[in-house]
Structure 1
Amino acid sequence: MTGLDDGRLAGIRADFPYLADRAYLNSAGAGLAWRGQSAAAAAYYDDVASRGADGQRLWMDLGARARERVARLLGVPVEDANFFRNTTEVINLAALSVDWRADDEVVVAADEFPSVAWPWVRAEATGGRVVRVDPGAESQREDRLLAAITTRTRVVAVSHVNTVTGTRLDLDRLGRACREVDALLVVDGIQALGAIPVGLTHVDVYAAGVFKWLLSSFGTGIGVFRERAREMLTPAYRGYRNRPPSTDFGYADPNYPGLYVLDATLEFLGGVGWPVIHGRVEDLTRRAADAVRALGIEPITPADAQAGIVSFTVEDPTAITAELLRGGVHVVEKMDTIRVSPHFYNTSADVDRFAEALGVALADR
């Protein structure tokens, strides 16, 4: 297993008390809280209690530091990154900021997550249309999206990693195709950021909540608007932080208590090491996929387009998921599939426990 000896891993797992006696394999649903999270949130309220508004400079500086950490993680200039409430807000903000024209098209997969699919109906009010692409088999998803791009395409909106199937898209390939027709690539990255390395060279807008792989709870979202996006869009929301003619999309103060948590968690994760985290997620996900195949089930998730999720179908997935949970194995049923999503804090034994419990559950049916 990549990057952590047994002693260091045991120390890390001690910071996640929910892991005791459980195989928690649902980080794509919500990452676990670690012990430093409550202390970080309390630090904000302690600062306010002791300083009142005089502490504003303190929490603004911490927010700036968290922004710098996010920019480094994504490899973008700090001015490209801002904080919002959630992924949905960022994608809606992007959609509202387009000057829509008649005959504009937005390309999305027909089975996209609602937060990715529905903000673009605004284009239809001006005579445009949303092109909902049948993804076909998971191995065809990316090629079918690419085939739908035309000279009328204004935006391609995708999930970096599909929340149900776990399929990872090649953002460079999609982004290059968008640039050929002067379209924007807008990406929901919530199921990718923190689980896999993310490169935004050919991405225009990237949105991600922090409560999954970044382990930082709800109420804070990351929104990256690259320079190209800021040149092609006009911010729909204006406030004291982005008065005209600013092209910055950050319009108000962020959720500072949430940023205290995010800043502390990013420091913690950086101490573990992002290559270690990404490597462990890859290894554990591959182990889970191999375990499913060993039981005679071929995962839906393509082996060459995996991130932190393995999904597969069985008869009565709701009952199987409930049976696993009774045995202390946490996975989730979504859209008639079972989704398994290990994080770096999991062990090979957690995955093996899942495989054994799944085998028993299937044999009992």
Structure 2
Amino acid sequence: MTNVEEFAHGFGEEPGYLDYGRVGPVSRAVRAELAGQYDILGKARFGTVERMHAEDARVRSAVSALTGFPDEQIAFQPNATSGLMHAAFGLTGGEILLSLAEFPSVTYAAVRAAQAMHVVTPTWLDTDGGPVTPAHIREQVTGSTSAVMVSLVDSRTGYLADIDGIRQVIGDRLLIVDAIQGFGVVDAPYEVADVVVSGGQKWTRAGWGTGFLALSERAIDHLTPVFSGWSGTGAATQTWDEVIEPAHGAKAFTVSNPDPIAQARLAAALEEVAAVGVAAISDAVSDRAERVIDLADEFAIPVSSSRNTAERAGIVVLEPRPEQLTALSASLFNHGVTASVRPTTVRVSVHAGTTEDTLEMLRAAFVSYASAV
């Protein structure tokens, strides 16, 4: 067990980085894992390449520790979108209730599944321009609704969804959660979901090419593994001269052997998170988000994301007047602050390793902005 301070030592990025919602620079532990794994692959000493495939069990165990899903109900994925596609294409009927404002990985999975399979229908949730809430879903769920898809944290607004509340209002319908904007920094009740997907390139800082799909028993019973390759069978070893049925489990939702080095990167990142605990990381992230909000208030920069700690994770959204957005983005750029500038907002993403130097750089940028406007 480590503490947050020791965890923060694993952040190697330069001061000024506030864009974890886009990509998290890989941690020192992940870089060390990557170097070690490539050294093994580069030398290919007798027996070592075969042993690299043990990373599959390792990464599934690491995901299990953070989600509560059993190892055998987890499949490694190259990204969150692949997991969402598996889930959406696997639905066998009814309507999928979701917001059109969700990140495109979610909406495209639902629509492409409907277009290709002709067995499900996306139904767009009306949120009156606000976040996805249990109340909105309660009002619009129908007897034809078979599944609900939602982001744990909205990528544009930073809103943290109440997935426990959503579960309570949808009953035994499938709940599909895209957790990528909160996984590793939000202490969420993942056990209430039927499908949890995430990528490792953001808050867990494992780099691109990493992700997972976790399925409840109900999801395994109700989803059809449409994209199931030779690696997704129930056979203990590779089979020749026959094509056998997919396994009854998460393994079925794979198409080929995974990249063991990518699995090792994700496992190393998640093991580091588990060592300190998601709750402790979440508290540290919340503290730094509060610091950013206080700075924005000090310089009269409007904050459009939620100020309620129960409704936010690591994202703070700034929304200056339209004619002042250019000045704010220029000031951030001139002071070496990395954030996501959108057409009407600036998204600032903090992490447990965000340093005082970085916050001071943000303050300096705000000083210049305030002077300019």
- Superposition TM-score, scaled by structure 1 size: 0.87
Q: For the Cα contact (< 8 Å) 2:299–2:370, is it kept in 1?
A: no
Among 168, 173, 177, the residue aligned to 1:183: 173
Whether 1:327 and 2:353 are equivalent positions in the alignment is: no
When the two chains are superposed, the root-mean-square deviation of aligned CA atoms in Å is 2.4
Displacement of 1:272 in angstroms is 4.0
> Partner letter of residue 287 of structure 2?
D
What is the match of residue 316 of structure 2? Answer: 310
Deviation of the 1:343 alpha carbon: 0.6
The partner residue of 1:174 within 163, 166, 170 is 166
2:123 to 123, 131, 144: 131
Correspondence 1:339 to 2:347:
yes
Are 2:211 and 1:221 equivalent residues in the alignment? yes
- Asked if 1 retains the 8 angstrom alpha-carbon contact of 2:69 and 2:215, the reply is no
Question: 2:238: which partner in 1?
Answer: none
SS at match of 2:147: strand
- 2:153 pairs with 1:161: yes
Aligned-pair CA distance for 1:82: 1.4
Q: 2-side partners of 1:265 and 1:63: how far apart?
A: 14
Residue in 1 that maps onto 2:18: 25
**CA 1:273 to 1:126, structure 2 compared with 1: closer, same or farther past 3 Å?**
closer
Hey, what's the Cα distance between the residues in 1 that align with 2:89 and 2:350?
A: 35
SS at the partner of 1:254? coil
Q: Is the 8 A contact 1:234 1:247 kept in 2?
A: no
Distance 1:154 1:273, change over 3 A: closer
Aligned mates of 1:51, 1:96 — CA distance in 2:
39
Paired residues, number: 351
Distance 1:318 1:248 in 2: 50
SS at match of 1:18: coil
Q: What TM-score do the two structures reach when normalised by structure 2? A: 0.86
2:257 is equivalent to residue 253 of structure 1: yes
Residue identity matched to 1:291: L
Aligned partner of 1:78 in structure 2 is 71
The aligned amino acid for 2:135 is: D
Q: Equivalent of 2:137, from 145, 162, 178?
A: 145
**8 Å CA contact retained: 1:95, 1:119:** yes
> How many Å separate the matches in 1 of 2:134 and 2:363?
30
**Distance in 1 (alpha carbons) for counterparts of 2:129 and 2:363:** 25
Deviates more, 1:144-153 or 1:184-193: 144-153
| 2:193 is equivalent to residue 203 of structure 1 | yes
**Cα displacement (A) at 1:55:** 2.9
Q: Secondary structure at the match of 2:109?
A: helix
Unmatched segments (≥5 aa) in structure 2: 234-244
Contact 1:43 1:260 (C-alpha < 8 Å) held by counterparts = no
CA contact (8 A) 2:133 2:166 kept: no
Q: Percent identity?
A: 27
Helix, strand or coil: the match of 1:269? Answer: helix
Residues in 2 aligned to 1:127 and 1:191: alpha-carbon distance in whole angstroms: 29
Question: 2:29·2:268 contact (CA, 8 Å) conserved in 1?
Answer: yes
Q: Is the 8 A contact 2:334 2:365 kept in 1?
A: no
225 and 273 in structure 1: CA distance in 2 versus 1, 3 angstrom threshold: closer
Where 1:277 maps in the other structure, the secondary structure is helix
Instruction: Say if 1:318 and 1:99 are closer, same or farther in 2 by CA, change over 3 A.
Output: farther
Q: Residue 105 of structure 2 is aligned with which of 105, 115, 118?
A: 115
Extract unaligned runs of 5+ from structure 1.
none
User: What's 1:290 paired with?
Assistant: 294
1:274 corresponds to 2:266 = no
Q: 2:358 aligns with which of 341, 350, 361?
A: 350
In the TM superposition, what whole-angstrom CA distance separates every residue of 1:236-267 from its partner, at most 9, and x where no partner exists? 12233332252223323222111222222233
DSSP 3-state at the match of 1:329: coil
CA–CA distance in structure 1, aligned partners of residues 125 and 327 of structure 2? 32
Aligned residue for 1:229, secondary structure, equals: helix
SS in 1 for 2:202: coil
Q: Could you tell me whether the CA contact under 8 Å between 2:97 and 2:147 is conserved in 1? A: yes
